[in-house]
Chain A
Amino acid sequence: MNVFYSKDLSKLIELFEAAEFGKIISQGDSVALKIHFGEPGNQAYLKPERVRALTRKVRDLGGLPFWTDANTLYRGQRGDDQAHLQTAHNHGYTMNRTGADVVISSGIPDAKAMIVITHFKGHELTGFGGALKNVGMGCATRAEKLDQHSACDNCKAKPSCKKKEKVEACWVGSSAVVQKKIVAHAAKAIRSFNKKTAFINFITDVSENCDCYPHNSTPIVPDLGVLASSDPVALDQACVDMVNNADGRINGRDKFKTLWPEVDWQVQLDEAEKLGLGSRKYELISL
């Protein structure tokens, strides 16, 4: 599967066109732009200036774009609709700055097509967080997120585990189980759009952890660019390879394994491939 790449972050629309994302948008389609609006205090989220060109492109194609994400499980500033909308607004996701409204989705966005825009980074539970995680967990309801986090091998091994009784994420669960659940939900979400999905990953400010913490960590590699593909598996694999092949503050052939030795990040890609979401083999086409 083709993965298109530009080191120049401003070439978002050139990537969009190279990847032929226009094909997924028909006249009058509502188009969900799935994004993470960033937790207050964390500056690694994708700034509106970096992605807002998409709304004009979608409108030019006859689509009706809106930014969206679903509420988080943990009690941050995106855990309910009101706080989430305020956070998106405070981070510049307004009609005035981006040309599209923000709609907080209840799980999978209600739209005809979906463009998934992801800040690619490390993740303490899944090794890395890319397009699959952005859809798999990002398009889940709070109840589905709780299920993804809590029904883990750890709970079976320890019947006394109290964490599952709380409406909070359990961070000690088996990574493999969590990853498989995330990918299963990603498959459900992606299939609901009948192939009208597209995926864009930014390799910028690549942190060790996800963007849900209210602070930043020093990036593990310099900003590498932006990638786009119709195949989320190929896209995530390409991003992992690009980060692992780059010089950075974490050495080793597998930076994510070095950071999170107990996590096998390959599980999410293998599982996604098994479920028919795409291929780990890809051809990288640089613009």
Chain B
Amino acid sequence: MIADLLRDQQFQTLAREYKFLARALGETVDQIDAVLFDIETTGLDPVANEITEIGALLIKGSELKDMFCTLIKPQTPISAEITRLTGIDDELVKDAPTISEALPQFLNFVGPLPLIAHNADFDVSFIREQVRKVKGIELPNSIYCTLKLSRKILPGLKNYKLHTIGEHFGLTVANRHRAIGDAELTFQVWQKLLPVMMENNIKSQRELDLLMSQL
């Protein structure tokens, strides 16, 4: 059986030596094509609240390949509290596309690639809800959460907020709390996490998928 074969130690050793076998295990984590993304919203509830911005980076391994960024005009006014947190107000989004216009563009940018986000449960819950509403399907993409992953492979940090992990790695990024700024910091964190994953024997995409399913 293929499933048994993929878990066989001897096969895995051979797979590292012979690239055609390695394809069966998936890419190594440092070669993954993926989209890192972050969203800004009008609140915390993916059903009641709306997305106001999506920032996304298309990567191959640790290389940046493309960028996608859009403001989104919500159907309800943006509260002063949200404006204070994100800097996004009604004036800024007045000419922006609606979610039903922006979502297909974002999904087209992502294609079948895995999505990477910090605290992905939050960001993905909004995208998942919109994909259900706009396209009537489940979001099928793999999800890698840098928060859950960091908790697993970087034990002992005081907390696992994005900037705390960034500081742990000596990273700084301007434009925080806007979608593209947070996506950029997530990308830098991801690059730093790649060798830590390898050290923790999370070498193939399959191994990462399996780990994420259990976190």
Contacts and interface: CB of A to CB of B under 8 A. Distances in A.
Q: Do A and B come from one complex?
A: yes
Interface of A: 30, 52, 55-56, 64, 66, 89-92, 94-101, 103, 110-111
B184 to A, nearest CB: 24
CB-based closest 6 A-B pairs: A99-B213, A96-B142, A95-B209, A96-B209, A66-B3, A90-B140
Contacts of A92: 138, 140
B2 A52 contact: no
Residue among A66, A92, A94 with the most chain B CB within 10 A?
Answer: A94
B60 interface: no
Given A56-B214, A90-B138, A96 B3 contact: no
14 contacts: A30-B4, A52-B213, A56-B213, A66-B3, A90-B140, A94-B142, A94-B209, A96-B114, A96-B213, A99-B210, A99-B213, A99-B214, A101-B3, A103-B3
Contact of B212 (A66, A89, A96): A96
Contacts of B84: none
Given A30-B3, A64-B3, A95 B210 contact: yes
Nearest to B142: A96
Interface string B1-19: 1111001000000000000
Contacts of A97: 142-143, 213
Contacts of A98: 213
Contacts of A110: 1
B148 interface: no
A64 B7 CA distance: 9
Interface of B: 1-4, 7, 114, 137-138, 140, 142-144, 206, 209-210, 212-214
A210 to B, nearest CB: 21
A90 B206 CA distance: 18
Given A64-B3, A90-B137, A110-B1, A96 B143 contact: yes
A94 B210 CA distance: 10
Nearest to B206: A95
A89 B143 CA distance: 13
A91 B3 CA distance: 20
Given A52-B213, A95-B209, A95-B213, A89 B140 contact: yes
Nearest to A47: B138
Given A94-B140, A95-B210, 15 more contacts: A30-B4, A56-B214, A64-B3, A90-B140, A91-B138, A94-B142, A94-B209, A95-B206, A95-B213, A96-B144, A96-B212, A97-B143, A97-B213, A99-B214, A111-B1
Contacts of B3: 30, 64, 66, 101, 103
B72 to A, nearest CB: 25
B215 to A, nearest CB: 10
A64 B214 contact: no
A97 B121 CA distance: 12
A101 B137 CA distance: 21
Nearest to A89: B140
Contacts of B144: 96
A99 B7 CA distance: 13
A99 to B, nearest CB: 3
A256 B143 CA distance: 41
Contacts of B1: 30, 103, 110-111
Nearest to B3: A66
Contacts of A94: 140, 142, 209
B138 A64 contact: no
B91 to A, nearest CB: 39
A216 B1 CA distance: 35
B46 to A, nearest CB: 15
Contact of B213 (A55, A66, A91, A103): A55
A55 B209 CA distance: 13
A52 B212 CA distance: 12
A213 to B, nearest CB: 16
Contacts of A66: 3
Contacts of A103: 1-3
A44 B7 CA distance: 33
A186 B1 CA distance: 23
A90 B214 CA distance: 20
A66 B144 CA distance: 21
Nearest to A31: B3
Contacts of B2: 101, 103
